[in-house]
Amino acid sequence: MEAQIQNFGQTPSQLLIEPHPPRSSAMHLCFLPQSPLMFKDQMQQDVIMVLKFPSNSPVTHVAANTLPHLTIPAVVTVTCSRLFAVNRWHNTVGLRGAPGYSLDQAHHLPIEMDPLIANNSGVNKRQITDLVDQSIQINAHCFVVTADNRYILICGFWDKSFRVYSTETGKLTQIVFGHWDVVTCLARSESYIGGDCYIVSGSRDATLLLWYWSGRHHIIGDNPNSSHLTFHHLPPFDANPQ
């Protein structure tokens, strides 16, 4: 110890002229001017409504297609258990003076929970039961909702496909093959007149495939007379290129 003091010097008992300030408590932080908790009341005022789903499964995907000209303007949600809901959107809420505003609808909340989910009367029409690959973690990138809210595209299946389901009936309408490994993500472009758009699929085979979605026929491709199975042939995938 004495050798260290001789080499480095002795540390004084107090470094500052005034005593160190006491450590702040958690309660003290709540009242600081820049504490995040100071915005709690403001955040509660900014939240218009809260929608709590009875399934208690975490929501992993949200798609809001709410344009007034849609037959079903809605906020489509999907949970980690692959239970989707078509929650109706009321366009006239809070938009007094906007085109189409109606006093009869003014009492509606902005989002009306899917009645099949709220009443637990038709959950079988909202549950995707097809098996997914066990190595895939379901996340927001596994789902795409068409611009008219009528169909939902889902990937992650063990057979290396992605699939199209009707949001009205929950039934499978198309299975699309093209990748050499499990499809891990989907995305869509902006929709054109008639609902046409492009769908992009990504896979563990390190490729992206670009597909055409027909808004008229509600399928990948533009041939309504073809089988509900769609194939796109790729050259063999070489995991170890020379």
Tell me, yes or no, whether 145 and 85 share the same domain.
Answer: no
**Long-range contacts from 50-59, C-beta under 8 angstroms, 24+ separation:** 51/87, 51/111, 51/113, 53/77, 53/79, 53/85, 53/113, 53/117, 54/117, 54/118, 54/120, 55/79, 55/81, 55/83, 55/117, 57/81, 57/83
Tens-place pLDDT, residues 204-222: 999 999 999 999 999 998 7
Tell me, yes or no, whether 89 and 158 share the same domain.
Answer: no
Task: Name the DSSP class of 30.
Answer: H
The predicted model gives 117-146 an average pLDDT of 91
Residue 141 in domain: yes
Task: Name the DSSP class of 214.
Answer: E
Alpha carbons 165 and 182: distance in angstroms, whole number: 18
Q: Which residue has the higher pLDDT, 231 or 233?
A: 231
Alpha carbons 147 and 139: distance in angstroms, whole number: 20
Residue 114 in domain: yes
Tell me, yes or no, whether 88 and 138 share the same domain.
Answer: no
Residue 219 in domain: yes
CB contact at 8 A, 106 and 115: no
Q: Which domain holds residue 95?
A: 29-58+67-127
Tell me, yes or no, whether 154 and 223 share the same domain.
Answer: yes
Amino acid at 10: Q
What's the confidence (pLDDT) of residue 229? Answer: 56
Residue 53 in domain: yes
Tell me, yes or no, whether 117 and 203 share the same domain.
Answer: no
Tell me, yes or no, whether 123 and 134 share the same domain.
Answer: no
Q: Which residue has the higher pLDDT, 38 or 6?
A: 6
The predicted model gives 116-131 an average pLDDT of 89
Tell me, yes or no, whether 85 and 134 share the same domain.
Answer: no
Q: Considering the chain, what is the average pLDDT of its residues? A: 80
Question: 142 to each of 32, 200, 213, how far by Cα in Å?
Answer: 42, 11, 17
What's the confidence (pLDDT) of residue 49? Answer: 84
Tens-place pLDDT, residues 60-72: 999 999 988 899 9
- What tokens does 64 get? 């809001």
Tell me, yes or no, whether 134 and 231 share the same domain.
Answer: yes
Alpha carbons 146 and 74: distance in angstroms, whole number: 11
Tens-place pLDDT, residues 70-122: 999 999 999 999 999 999 998 765 455 555 555 455 456 789 999 999 988 88
What's the confidence (pLDDT) of residue 107? Answer: 54
% of the chain with per-residue pLDDT over 90: 50
Strands 74-79 and 151-154 turn out to be unpaired
Residue 23 in domain: no
Residues 6+ apart with CB under 8 A from 101: 92, 95
Token pair 């611009």: residue? 147
Q: In the structure, what pLDDT confidence band is assigned to residue 239 with cuts at 50, 70 and 90? A: very low
Tell me, yes or no, whether 137 and 219 share the same domain.
Answer: yes
Tell me, yes or no, whether 122 and 135 share the same domain.
Answer: no
Q: In the structure, what pLDDT confidence band is assigned to residue 237 with cuts at 50, 70 and 90? A: very low
Tens-place pLDDT, residues 145-156: 999 999 999 999
Residue 109 in domain: yes
Tell me, yes or no, whether 142 and 110 share the same domain.
Answer: no
Question: 147 to each of 38, 120, 211, how far by Cα in Å?
Answer: 39, 26, 16
Q: In the structure, what pLDDT confidence band is assigned to residue 8 with cuts at 50, 70 and 90? A: low
Tell me, yes or no, whether 33 and 101 share the same domain.
Answer: yes
Number of domains present in the structure of the chain: 2
Output the domain CATH number for residue 182: 2.130.10.10
Residue 105 in domain: yes
Nearest to 72 by CA among 134, 151, 128, 19: 151
CB contact at 8 A, 112 and 104: no
Q: How would you label 91-112 residue by residue, b for 16+ Cβ within 10 Å and e otherwise?
A: bbbeeeeeeeeeeeeeeeebbb
